[in-house]
Amino acid sequence: MYRKPTHTDRYLHAKSHHPAQKQSAINSFVHRAFIISDKEHLQTELNHLKTALQKNGHDKKDIIKTINKHANKTTDSDTQSDERILSILTCVKGIINRISRILNKHNIRTIFKSPKKIGQILRNSKDLHSAPQECTKYLVPAGKYTLEKLRMVNLWIKEYHCDVRLK
């Protein structure tokens, strides 16, 4: 994993008065190492984390315990992910849990997606651009002949309304 030349490996010290953050610091660094590092460089990254966290006062036993926990999780998820099909469902209260249980029995993993918010569905009032005016081809009777003309529909509607008002 790349680190800037000015990186100091200074993290939350174990003697800090934040007990929950101490363990979460170890968890987050180990998790990131497993997610980002490839298999060739994973052991190098874990060794670097062990020394950096020990310099910050963390217990070696806690660090190794966290690494083993993450190692077991990744090997379990690697074997399962190849076999399972993915299904993305929109959340519908009361129904989605039943569907998820049924799909889970058939080895199909479900991901829940929230429905669109009302703001995404409605048109933004600031976007008051007029719709593009379309040209329409229509036939106009002219005595014995019919003429084909192209005019804008909006212009014909305006002329019609003006004509209706005058009558």
Show me where the domains of the chain are located: 19-81, 85-119, 135-166
* Structural contact between residues 42 and 56, judged by C-beta atoms closer than 8 angstroms: no
Strands (E), the chain: 85-90, 108-113, 135-142, 145-152
Could you tell me the CA-to-CA distances from 118 to 48, 94, 128 in Å, in that order? Answer: 48, 21, 18
Predicted local confidence at residue 137, as pLDDT: 52
- Report residue 146's pLDDT band, with 50, 70 and 90 as the boundaries: very low
Lowest mean pLDDT, pick from 27-41, 75-89, 141-155: 141-155
Q: Which of 64, 38, 69 is nearest to 51 (CA)?
A: 64
What's the per-residue H, E or C state across 65-82? Answer: HHHHHHHHHHHHHHHHHH
If one counts every other C-beta atom within 10 angstroms of the C-beta of residue 139, the result is 9
- Report residue 44's pLDDT band, with 50, 70 and 90 as the boundaries: very high
Average pLDDT for 75-97: 68
Quote the DSSP letter at residue 115: P
- Report residue 83's pLDDT band, with 50, 70 and 90 as the boundaries: low
